[in-house]
C-alpha cells in the first residue's frame, strides 16, 4: 500500500494492513485517543502542522470511541494537514482510553510513537522536543512531565483534581519504586516511545494510565523527561470520573501482581478474605436452624464465589477471554471444594504420621493446598485451551490477539 500523499487522509476506519509500506527511518507516529473531541481535533491538527518540521516524516492516528461527530471533524481537517491522517473509529470500544492507545500502537508505523490527548492540554508543539530528547540521549521512553523544573500543572483545574493527581503519583511510585525511579510524572498521558520497545509486549491497560502499564510491562532501560505546561482544555468537558479512579486502583493491583510470587501471595490473601462471607453465611444458616455440616458446605460456596470474583478481577483480568464465564466459575468452584476435601486428610496425615502439632500441621497444609490450588487455577482455568484462529470480535476486544500487533 503506497504511503498517502501530503494533504490526504488514509481510507477512513480501515487499519493499515500488515506488511504496508513502512515510514522512513526516524519517522514519528502521533497517536491521539479521542472521545467526543469534535471541537478540538481541527485545532490540534493545525498546531501539529505548524510545529512539526516538514522535513520530519510523520503520521497522525486518531483512535476514536466518540458518540459525536469527531470522526467527521478529523476527516474535514485532515485535508489541510501536510501529514497523512488516519481515523480509526471503534464501534465496540474495549479498555477505554488505554485500549484506544494500544490500538494506536498497533497501527503506528513510525520509529517513534508520541501518545497525547486530543483536548490540547498536551501541547503539540512539544512533539519534536520529546523525540529529539530521545534521539540525543538514546532513551527508549521520553515522558512529558508537569513536575520537572520548568513544567507546570496549571491546567489541572481545582484542588480536588490536583490532590487526586498527587495521591495517584505517590501511590504508583510507592508500589513500583524501581520501575518508576527517576520519573517525576508517571501519571502523564503525554510521552514518546520507540516502537521497537513495545512490539511483542502484552499491554493490558485498564483505564487511562497507559504510561504506567508501559513502564511496568516493557521495562525500558533508559527513560528521559522533558518539562511541559499542562494547559487548560481547549473545548469540551473533562472525562475524569470516580469510575475512572476505581479502574486506576484495579489497574495498580493487577500490575503489582504480575510476578508469579506476587500472584501467589495475592491469591492467598484473597483466600483469607473469603472467610468473611463464609462465616457470615454460616452464622445466618445455623441461626435459622440448619444443621451445622450442611450449613458449612453451603456457606463455603459463598466464600468460593467471593474468591472467584476477586481472582478474576485482580489476578487474571486479561485472560478471561480464554474460557466462557460459566466454564471458569464451575472449574473454580470444583477446585475450591476439592481443596477443602484434600486439606483435612492432609492435616490428619501430618499429625498422625509425622507427629506435627495441630497448629503447624494446619499451617503447612494450608500452604501446600493454596500453592497447589493457585497452580491448578492458572493451568486449568486461565491458560488458553485448544488454540483457535482469532476472530474479528476477538481483535476488537483484545488487540493483543491480532497477529503482527502489540502482543
Stretch among 116-120, 239-243, 269-273, 395-399 having the lowest mean pLDDT: 395-399
For range 357-364, the mean pLDDT: 76
Question: 69-95 burial string, b = 16+ CB within 10 Å, else e?
Answer: ebbebbbebbeebebbbbbbbbeebeb
Based on the fold, state whether residues 179 and 268 are members of the same structural domain.
no
- pLDDT value of residue 377: 76
pLDDT reading at 192 higher than 90: yes
Domain end among 222, 256, 290: 256
For range 161-177, the mean pLDDT: 74
Based on the fold, state whether residues 269 and 209 are members of the same structural domain.
no
Based on the fold, state whether residues 34 and 171 are members of the same structural domain.
yes
Based on the fold, state whether residues 207 and 275 are members of the same structural domain.
no
DSSP notation for 64-97: E--SSSHHHHHHHHHTT-SS-EEEEE-SS--SHH
The answer to the question of residue 388 being in a domain is no
- pLDDT value of residue 238: 60
Based on the fold, state whether residues 191 and 110 are members of the same structural domain.
yes
Higher-confidence residue of 178 and 395: namely 178
For range 135-163, the mean pLDDT: 81
Higher-confidence residue of 253 and 336: namely 336
Q: Which of 101, 95, 35 is nearest to 321 (CA)?
A: 95
CA angle in degrees (0–180, nearest 5) for 377-380-383: 95
pLDDT reading at 61 higher than 70: yes
The answer to the question of residue 401 being in a domain is no
- pLDDT value of residue 311: 79
Stretch among 108-112, 123-127, 250-254 having the lowest mean pLDDT: 250-254
The answer to the question of residue 307 being in a domain is yes
The answer to the question of residue 117 being in a domain is yes
CATH number at residue 233: 3.90.550.10
Based on the fold, state whether residues 108 and 226 are members of the same structural domain.
yes
pLDDT reading at 25 higher than 60: yes
Question: Do residues 370 and 311 make contact, with C-beta atoms less than 8 angstroms apart?
Answer: no
Highest mean pLDDT among 114-118, 317-321, 397-401: 114-118
- pLDDT value of residue 244: 59
133-136 long-range contacts, CB within 8 A, separation 24+: 133/192, 133/224, 133/226, 134/192, 134/194, 134/224, 135/26
Chain-wide mean pLDDT for the chain?
A: 76
- pLDDT value of residue 126: 93
Domain count, the chain: 2
Based on the fold, state whether residues 243 and 285 are members of the same structural domain.
no
Domain end among 214, 229, 256: 256
Residue 298 corresponds to which cell in the numbers above?
453451603
Higher-confidence residue of 142 and 3: namely 142
For range 26-38, the mean pLDDT: 91
Instruction: Report residue 308 CA to chain centroid gap.
Output: 21
- pLDDT value of residue 128: 92
Based on the fold, state whether residues 246 and 282 are members of the same structural domain.
no
- pLDDT value of residue 240: 54
Higher-confidence residue of 311 and 261: namely 311
For range 184-210, the mean pLDDT: 80
Which residues are within 8 A (CB) of 405 and not within 5 positions of it... i.e. 6 or more apart?
106, 399
Query: Distance between CA 120 and CA 130 in Å, rounded?
Result: 16
Taking residue 107's Cβ as centre, other Cβ atoms within 10 Å add up to 22
Domain end among 202, 233, 256: 256
The answer to the question of residue 121 being in a domain is yes
Stretch among 5-14, 197-206, 237-246, 253-262 having the lowest mean pLDDT: 5-14
Based on the fold, state whether residues 249 and 271 are members of the same structural domain.
no
Highest mean pLDDT among 247-261, 287-301, 319-333: 287-301
The answer to the question of residue 239 being in a domain is yes
The answer to the question of residue 222 being in a domain is yes
- pLDDT value of residue 320: 62
Q: Which domain holds residue 127?
A: 28-256
The answer to the question of residue 18 being in a domain is no
Query: Distance between CA 289 and CA 103 in Å, rounded?
Result: 56
Query: Distance between CA 93 and CA 396 in Å, rounded?
Result: 7
Based on the fold, state whether residues 205 and 92 are members of the same structural domain.
yes
Higher-confidence residue of 330 and 25: namely 330
For range 86-108, the mean pLDDT: 85
Based on the fold, state whether residues 227 and 198 are members of the same structural domain.
yes
- pLDDT value of residue 382: 63
Stretch among 18-27, 290-299, 346-355 having the lowest mean pLDDT: 18-27
Based on the fold, state whether residues 199 and 225 are members of the same structural domain.
yes
Amino acid at each position: 500500500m503506497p504511503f498517502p500523499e501530503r494533504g490526504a487522509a488514509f481510507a477512513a476506519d480501515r487499519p493499515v494492513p500488515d506488511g504496508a509500506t513502512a515510514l522512513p527511518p526516524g519517522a514519528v507516529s502521533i497517536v491521539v485517543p479521542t472521545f467526543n473531541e469534535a471541537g478540538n481535533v481541527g485545532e490540534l491538527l493545525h498546531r501539529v502542522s505548524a510545529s512539526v518540521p516538514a522535513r520530519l516524516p510523520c503520521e497522525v492516528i486518531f483512535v476514536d470511541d466518540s458518540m459525536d461527530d469527531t470522526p467527521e471533524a478529523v476527516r474535514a481537517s485532515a485535508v489541510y494537514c501536510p501529514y497523512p491522517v488516519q481515523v480509526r473509529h471503534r464501534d465496540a470500544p474495549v479498555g477505554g482510553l488505554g485500549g484506544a492507545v494500544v490500538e494506536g500502537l498497533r497501527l503506528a508505523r513510525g520509529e517513534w510513537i508520541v501518545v497525547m490527548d486530543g483536548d490540547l492540554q498536551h501541547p503539540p508543539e512539544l512533539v519534536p522536543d520529546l523525540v529529539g530528547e530521545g534521539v540525543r540521549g538514546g532513551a527508549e521512553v521520553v515522558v512529558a512531565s508537569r513536575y520537572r523544573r520548568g513544567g507546570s500543572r496549571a491546567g489541572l483545574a481545582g484542588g480536588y483534581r490536583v490532590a487526586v493527581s498527587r495521591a495517584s503519583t505517590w501511590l504508583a511510585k510507592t508500589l513500583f519504586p524501581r520501575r518508576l525511579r527517576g520519573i517525576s510524572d508517571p501519571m502523564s498521558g503525554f510521552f514518546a516511545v520507540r516502537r521497537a520497545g513495545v512490539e511483542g509486549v502484552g499491554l493490558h491497560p485498564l483505564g487511562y494510565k497507559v504510561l504506567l502499564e508501559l513502564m511496568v510491562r516493557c521495562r525500558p532501560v533508559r527513560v528521559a523527561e522533558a518539562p511541559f505546561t499542562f494547559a487548560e482544555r481547549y473545548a469540551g468537558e473533562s472525562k475524569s470520573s470516580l469510575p475512572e479512579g476505581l479502574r486506576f486502583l484495579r489497574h495498580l493491583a493487577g500490575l503489582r501482581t504480575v510476578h508469579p510470587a506476587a500472584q501467589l501471595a495475592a491469591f492467598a490473601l484473597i483466600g483469607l478474605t473469603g472467610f468473611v462471607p463464609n462465616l457470615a453465611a454460616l452464622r445466618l444458616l445455623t441461626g435459622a436452624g440448619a444443621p451445622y455440616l450442611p450449613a458449612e458446605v453451603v456457606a463455603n460456596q459463598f466464600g468460593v464465589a467471593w474468591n472467584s470474583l476477586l481472582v478474576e478481577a485482580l489476578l487474571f483480568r486479561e485472560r478471561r477471554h480464554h474460557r466462557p464465564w460459566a466454564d471458569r466459575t464451575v472449574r473454580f468452584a470444583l477446585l475450591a471444594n476439592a481443596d477443602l476435601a484434600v486439606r483435612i486428610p492432609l492435616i490428619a496425615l501430618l499429625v498422625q504420621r509425622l507427629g506435627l502439632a495441630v497448629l503447624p500441621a494446619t499451617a503447612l497444609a494450608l500452604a501446600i493446598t493454596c500453592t497447589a490450588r493457585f497452580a491448578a487455577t492458572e493451568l486449568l482455568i486461565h491458560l488458553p485451551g485448544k488454540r483457535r484462529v482469532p476472530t474479528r470480535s476477538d481483535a476488537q476486544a483484545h488487540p493483543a490477539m491480532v497477529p503482527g500487533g502489540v502482543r
